[in-house]
Structure 1
Amino acid sequence: METRVKDHVRSVDASAVLRLLPRRPRLLALGEPTHGEETLLELRNELFRQLVDEGYRTIAIESDCLAGLAVDDHVTSGEGVLDEVVERGISHGWGASAANRELVRWMRAHNEGRPASEQVRFAGFDGPLEMSGAASPRQVLTALHGYLAARVDAGLLPCTRETLDRLLGTDGQWTEPAAMRDPARSVGQSDEAGRLRLIADDLAALLDEQEPQLIAAGPQEEWDRAALYARTATGLLRYHHWTADGSSARWARLAGVRDAMMARNLLALAGRGPVFVHAHNAHLQREKSSMRMGGEPLEWWSAGALVDARLGAEYAFVATALGTIRHRGVDEPAPDTFEGLLHALPEDRCLVDTRRLAAELGGARPAPRVSPWFGYAPLDPAHLEDADGVVFLKDMAPA
């Protein structure tokens, strides 16, 4: 089996990745099996720089879609100070990453003096969600309401701004950290939240109904941001609803709602032209995602699976696999695993044509790897053909 794997290995660069694919996809996704490793983010940066030469103009990462607007403003217009923009514009605590800072710095330098049509763009495609809870819907609802109130007849709006403020109440009740573990602490199924879901739906529908007029009034960028507010408002209120749910379906629905929000953002970004996407493998893979929460197994369809169902060959997914993360207790993989076979090769990193490899192997697959650290998810060798390729990195250096 080692010889068969070696026959399908090549060097890692953007042109090699694109040669694996039947056509250049609108969304080219690179997954990672763990978060917080600078080596992975440095590889992402390198591939994006190369993909810009291939016509890709947007990078979308697993970060808050609203916060990411500040980063996009910075790289396109120079607005804000680099360190402050990265800190507040990249969520989940990843603004402290040197590789993320370098990505934003390079994008701004690349765009300097270029016309808008040649500039590279930044986007977060995750919802405004953290492990500790979800954001208040105030920002997106008031921004969407304000955009429409300034452009359409007041009689078409489902409520006034005063009504919206009264129903929203205080932001603290929406961001209560205890709600993630105790559904009773969430306001997501209150009468006010129920009314806000209907209002958000009506505002989003009104935005669609008035699209010809709104786009004609321009600029397009303002309508695009209003559409982002609409997607986020409806998704965020749905997320809060399931945060307040006490049934056994709660965690699976929360995971599914989050990835559905991601998918809608990616589909919207695909309209810009070719987009390079980076997130955890579990958010980008085509097969069903799974994890254990409180000892119970959860399954949901990832953003990648949802996008793939819509775009088909216009979506491509390349996973990443690792050999060691010694500073996390992940030592050399067993030699009979997929990662073990690749770790035995002399290359420090390589790209594997998994579709051809899986076809050659048939039902004979490497053994699945089990990680001693919960933060690293090895590849499932049963699903090799569900990825368009795999990037393998032999060893992770500590940051």
Structure 2
Amino acid sequence: MATHIQHTAHAVEPAALMGLLPARPRLLALGEPTHGEDALLTVRNDLFRRLVEEEGYRTIAIESDCLKAGIVDAYVTTGTGTPGPAPRIDLGLDIDIDLDIDIDIDEVMATGFSHGWGAAAGNRELVEWLRTHNEGRPRAEQVRFAGFDGPLEIHAAESPRQALAALHAYLAAHVDRDLLPCTAKTLEHLLGPDGRWTDPAAMLDPSRSVGRSPEAAELRLLADDLTALLEVQAPHLIAATSPEDVERARLHGRTALGLLRYHHGMADASPARLTRLVGTRDQMMADNLLALAERGPTLVHAHNSHLQRTRSTMTMGGAPLRWWSAGALVSARLGEEYAYVATALGTLPHQGVDAPPPATLEGLLYELPGDRSLVDNRHLAAHLGGALPQPRVSPWFGYAPLDPGQLSDSDALVFVRDVVRGG
């Protein structure tokens, strides 16, 4: 069996990868089976640099806050902390960064990422490379950075204030004020203090959430009216501002509506509550990815569970959850223009994940030479036939082995033999 596997393995490089795909994708998704490992981020960075140089890729999107990512994108394209000539409020972030003032990379890493991703050496290396690559290049040739996750953490969700205020301010500056469904003062009154929205207790106690209050219900209607106004005024807005400004305003609109849906779900006391929450998060991810696909070829990086085409599963609060991931939702829309490459690993010694048993999929792949390999997993699945390898069981909750029965779910497979801390 090892011989067959070697015949399906290639170097992890764009030419070999494109040869395994049915069509040139607009979104090329690279998954990872665990978070926080710089060795996996190095694989991503190396592949992305070559995709830029050899395949014309111009955007990378990672599993991070879509609004905070604007800080990173502005830094790597202009060297400042705010995107383009828009007023500070259009960034939609409550962070004290002055317009057109250069900021250093430490501040970018501290404020431009969520989930602690700014502390990862691999992400810092990516930002440094993007800044160096873009310097002196015309805007059309620059490489962009994006986050596609919502402003959500595992313990809470952000207030919709930042997104709603940014969208309202943009529209108020460029359309007839009589067309606006409300004033900024009305929004502030309905929103109230941010602590009402970000209370961590609401994650476990639906009664602590404001997501189904009369104010939240009115805000959902106003957010819908504001996003509708943005679309009906799009020809004027593109001419009066720029396509990028409209793109940013649409991001604020999507984020405001997504957050209000998420908070509505947090106030749900039914047994379907957690399933609705994880599904809403991935829907927000999918909407952001579909918008990024309009830019052109984009590399997407996130956990395998967010990018796979099959239903995602997990246990939360003692309950089994099943929902359609962002990858499944995007694939349903884009078809062959969405490609998914899963990543598997052999060992993760600092987390107690030792050499995989030979009868598992990772055990078979562990016989491959070299540190990393690109595997034609559809070919591999054909060779395996009905004799699927045994599922691997991880001794550590933070690593999710691949399901051997879902090899055909992805278009290819990257295998990293040993994930060593600091490697």
Normalising by the residue count of structure 2, what TM-score does the alignment of the two structures yield?
0.93
Residues of 1 paired with 2:315 and 2:7: CA distance? 36
Counterpart of 2:194, as a letter, is D
1:193 matched to 2:216? The reply is: yes
1:213 equivalent among 236, 241, 260: 236
Corresponding position of 2:83: none
* Structure 2: tracts of 5 or more residues without a match: 81-102
2:265 equivalent among 242, 251, 273: 242
Q: Helix, strand or coil: the match of 1:205? A: helix
1:361 equivalent among 381, 384, 396: 384
1:56 matched to 2:57? The reply is: yes
Corresponding position of 2:318: 295
Instruction: Tell which deviates more after alignment, 6-15 or 367-376.
Output: 6-15
After superposition, the C-alpha distances for 1:336-392 in whole angstroms (9 at most, x for unaligned) are 110000112232211110112223333221111111111000101111011011100
* Structure 1: tracts of 5 or more residues without a match: none
Residues of 1 paired with 2:135 and 2:369: CA distance? 40
Q: 1:9-28 residue pairs with structure 2 within 5 A? A: 9-28=9-28
2:299 equivalent among 276, 289, 309: 276
Q: Is the 8 A contact 2:344 2:362 kept in 1?
A: yes
Corresponding position of 1:70: 71
Instruction: Tell which deviates more after alignment, 340-349 or 185-194.
Output: 340-349
Residues of 2 paired with 1:249 and 1:313: CA distance? 32
Q: Helix, strand or coil: the match of 2:174? A: coil
Instruction: Tell which deviates more after alignment, 268-277 or 339-348.
Output: 339-348
Counterpart of 1:68, as a letter, is A
Corresponding position of 2:418: 395
Residues of 2 paired with 1:103 and 1:369: CA distance? 32
After superposition, the C-alpha distances for 1:6-25 in whole angstroms (9 at most, x for unaligned) are 22111212222111112221
Instruction: Tell which deviates more after alignment, 213-222 or 310-319.
Output: 213-222
Q: 1:249-328 residue pairs with structure 2 within 5 A? A: 249-328=272-351
Residues of 1 paired with 2:374 and 2:414: CA distance? 5
1:93 matched to 2:100? The reply is: no
1:127 matched to 2:128? The reply is: no
After superposition, the C-alpha distances for 1:101-157 in whole angstroms (9 at most, x for unaligned) are 110011000001100111100000000011121111000001111111122222222
Counterpart of 1:206, as a letter, is L
Instruction: Tell which deviates more after alignment, 16-25 or 246-255.
Output: 16-25
Residues of 1 paired with 2:5 and 2:391: CA distance? 15
Deviating runs (4+, > 6 A) in structure 1? none
Q: 1:42-191 residue pairs with structure 2 within 5 A? A: 42-53=42-53, 54-79=55-80, 80-191=103-214
Corresponding position of 1:228: 251
Instruction: Tell which deviates more after alignment, 44-53 or 154-163.
Output: 154-163
Q: Is the 8 A contact 2:5 2:368 kept in 1?
A: no
Corresponding position of 1:7: 7
Q: Helix, strand or coil: the match of 2:136? A: coil
Alpha-carbon shift at residue 262 of structure 1 (Å): 0.4
Counterpart of 2:115, as a letter, is H
Corresponding position of 1:35: 35
Q: How many residues align?
A: 399
- Output the aligned Cα RMSD: 1.0
Residues of 2 paired with 1:56 and 1:256: CA distance? 29
After superposition, the C-alpha distances for 1:306-355 in whole angstroms (9 at most, x for unaligned) are 11001111110000001111111111111111000011223221111011
Q: Helix, strand or coil: the match of 1:272? A: coil
After superposition, the C-alpha distances for 1:17-65 in whole angstroms (9 at most, x for unaligned) are 1111122211001000000001000111111100001100100000000
Corresponding position of 2:86: none
Counterpart of 1:98, as a letter, is A
Q: Percent identity?
A: 66
Residues of 2 paired with 1:195 and 1:159: CA distance? 11
Counterpart of 1:343, as a letter, is Y
